[in-house]
Structure 1
């Protein structure tokens, strides 16, 4: 499917006529309308269930995200997939230097094309959204945005969460698997809100 130029998409979707002013490395968060979104929200106690990282390409903002594969999505298109078109933008409190932004992009693009990780494993074979961003920042710049947790730390007894976990793992849930959630990153003191 051919992507529309960003300005045409903004005209077609009035809610996105004014996109936030973003920079390389900004983190974007929204409430996904995917089938796992409610389970992520309830399991983590967050209204945000999906995230990505912004990079400018040819002067236009794109979100590097893990969906079916790790890929670039125009920011307006990414925002349109979220509930009510709402998104939040966060940035490192001190920002990124041009050299840091280049290192971050180089590291993050190593994951392009990797399949989405439905079982949230802490490996590089498959990647989920917050894992992509966390590992990119940590490996490129030594910055850990948010604290990792174990699967057992989440609200696994919620009926929606429990059903999704049974669907993904059966009875063999890896309760000690390292995970990073969108909310752990969203609430990090290393970030400041942009929008």
Structure 2
């Protein structure tokens, strides 16, 4: 009888464990902002905090055009999220996704980057506000990158993603919006990219926000600059 009792208890425990594991995996699949990574975050600066914004110089003809048009060395950015003790960058690439911070840094030119933080972040970016930002972010996870820079939520580009998350999750407008016509569109390299994207119908009045708009924001302070 004792053996039977222990066998039943053992089976019950095993079933409970399997059920708990299954539920946990389902949660991670549906909400990646709760999932952790098995990749160790080695050698990352301790200064980095949840909600920081990170900038880098990416390598591609489009990124070169962005740098020229905006008169800036930065062409890509994202939001740093701490999830289960690990650091990720939520970024608009193809598709929009969470990328381990160390991997993200490796993608930039010479592995250089700048990290910025909202002034008075300790008071402004409370745990509740940070969770609102992460909850809002989920609607963009997996969406296509917006190569046409349209101010819609159907597809989204990097600086637009950061701006909208801060606006709708923390009620902070990091910078004023501009129009496409406000940028330097006369350089031949910029003209080439615009021609490939729009043909002869360039949406000059389209609302846009660039990495340079964000990195120059008076609301942010520099935390790390490896350039």
Give the TM-score, by structure 2 length.
Answer: 0.79
- Cα 1:20–1:186 shift into 2, 3 Å: farther
Q: Deviations over 1:28-83 (max 9, x none)?
A: 00001133111000000000000000101221110000001110000010010000
Q: Which structure has the bigger radius of gyration? A: 2
Once residues 190 and 38 of structure 2 are traced to their aligned partners in structure 1, the CA distance between those partners, rounded to angstroms, is 36
Partner residue in 2 for 1:128: 157
- 1:107 pairs with one of 121, 128, 136: 136
What residue number does 1:44 align with? 70
User: Is residue 2:197 matched to residue 1:171?
Assistant: no
Offset of residue 4 of structure 1:
6.8
Indicate conservation of the 8 Å contact 1:108/1:133, yes or no: no
Cα RMSD, aligned residues only? 1.3
Quote how far apart the aligned CAs of 1:18 are.
Answer: 3.9
Q: For residues 46 and 111 of structure 2, what CA distance do their matches in structure 1 show?
A: 12
Q: Which runs of 5+ in 1 are unaligned?
A: 11-16
Partner of 2:100: 74
Q: Does 1:149 align with 2:175?
A: no
Q: Is the 8 A contact 1:25 1:55 kept in 2?
A: yes
Contact between 1:147 and 1:185, CA under 8 Å: does it hold in 2?
A: no
Match of 2:216 in 1: 187
CA distance in 2, matches of 1:50, 1:165: 18
Task: State the distance in 1 between where 2:148 and 2:120 align.
Answer: 34
Q: 1-side partners of 2:46 and 2:154: how far apart? A: 33
Return the offset for 1:141: 1.9
Aligned residue pairs: how many?
A: 185
TM-aligned CA deviation for residue 109 of structure 1: 1.9
Runs of 4+ with deviation above 4 angstroms: none
**How far does the alpha carbon of each residue in 1:61-119 deviate from its partner, in whole angstroms, 9 at most, with x for none?**
10000001110000010010000000100010011111111111111222101100000
Question: In structure 2, what is the equivalent of residue 5 of structure 1?
Answer: 39
| TM-score, length basis structure 1 | 0.91
Map Cα deviations across residues 164-192 of structure 1 (whole Å, 9 max, x no partner). 00011100000000000001010101111
